[in-house]
Chains A and B, each alone.
Chain A
Amino acid sequence: MMTTAGFIVRIIFAVLLVFGIYNPSGYSYYDWLVGDLGHWTVKLFGASVLAFLLFIHAQATWRSMKLIGILLVLSVVSSFGWVLWDFGVIDLADPTTRSLGLLSTVAIVLGAGQSWSLVRYRLSGQVDSQNLIA
């Protein structure tokens, strides 16, 4: 059963995942990968774990929302960003703000995609299922 806390946790997990892969602060998996520190086996292990998590999120998002849902979430999030910019809360001329916004958008899409089948099941009772043998 999907709860508000469950939804928030999924969003937070997606945010951690996306920002863990890359963020503009200079402390991310990408920065570690291109830097000299660390052995390649450990980097490969990190890459495979991150690729797996990203794949799980992307697949769940695609299966539950398809293109139309992704576009709707994107439009809602970007219009919200427009509102923030319009009221002077964020400064889109700043490249750091831009990349933070882009990363947050991706994270929210993935988190919402991870949640949507559960939200829809709780709201409507319609089950999303995956055929293992097509």
Chain B
Amino acid sequence: MKSFGYLIRTVTCFLLLFATWNPTGYSYAAWLGTDDGSRLSVKIAVGLLLLALYAAYLRIAWVALRLPGILTAATILYSGYLSLRHLGVFAADAPLWSSYLALVLAGLVLASGVCWSHFKRRISGQSHVLTPPP
């Protein structure tokens, strides 16, 4: 898989998370709470579609990373953010924690989980197999 493949997977992970909820008020969660005349059936159908996508993406990321991998990815990303903040790329008083930061971190962790099996096979030749041979 080439760089574009990683990029497109990262973009879909961000789309999934930001479509579910984001602080601007234009998201699935915000749409559920408003009464804008759209029918309940459409809201439920979109919700179930999101649920199915989450089931697929989260399972892929979970079996690729498991808890240690997720913790490692989150640690690397968050400490990287703290370093950039320290080095002045972000303002020195940038928040230690904000909802955008949480969304971006979660999106990057999810994306690394989705890409990890491809990356691992490309760098080491070892495939991840869901039901391993004996």
Contacts and interface: CB of A to CB of B under 8 A. Distances in A.
A26 interface: no
Contact of B64 (A75, A79, A126): A126
A129 B52 contact: no
Interface residues of A, number: 25
A42 B37 CA distance: 56
A34 interface: no
Interface in A64-97: 68-69, 72-73, 75-76, 79-80, 82-83, 85-87
A131 B134 CA distance: 8
A134 interface: yes
Given A125-B121, A126-B129, A133-B134, A82 B44 contact: yes
Nearest to B9: A123
B52 A126 contact: no
Contacts of B48: 72, 75-76, 79
Given A79-B44, A82-B44, A133-B134, A126 B63 contact: yes
22 contacts: A72-B55, A76-B45, A76-B52, A79-B49, A82-B44, A82-B45, A83-B42, A123-B9, A123-B60, A123-B114, A124-B118, A125-B127, A126-B63, A126-B130, A127-B129, A128-B131, A129-B129, A129-B130, A129-B131, A129-B133, A131-B131, A131-B134
Interface size class of chain B, counting residues whose CB lies under 8 Å from the partner chain:
20 to 34
A98 interface: no
Contacts of B132: 129
Interface in A90-131: 120, 123-131
Interface of A: 68-69, 72-73, 75-76, 79-80, 82-83, 85-87, 120, 123-131, 133-134
Interface string B93-129: 0000000000000000000001111111100000111
Q: Is the interface of B mostly helix, strand, loop or mixed?
A: helix
B17 to A, nearest CB: 16
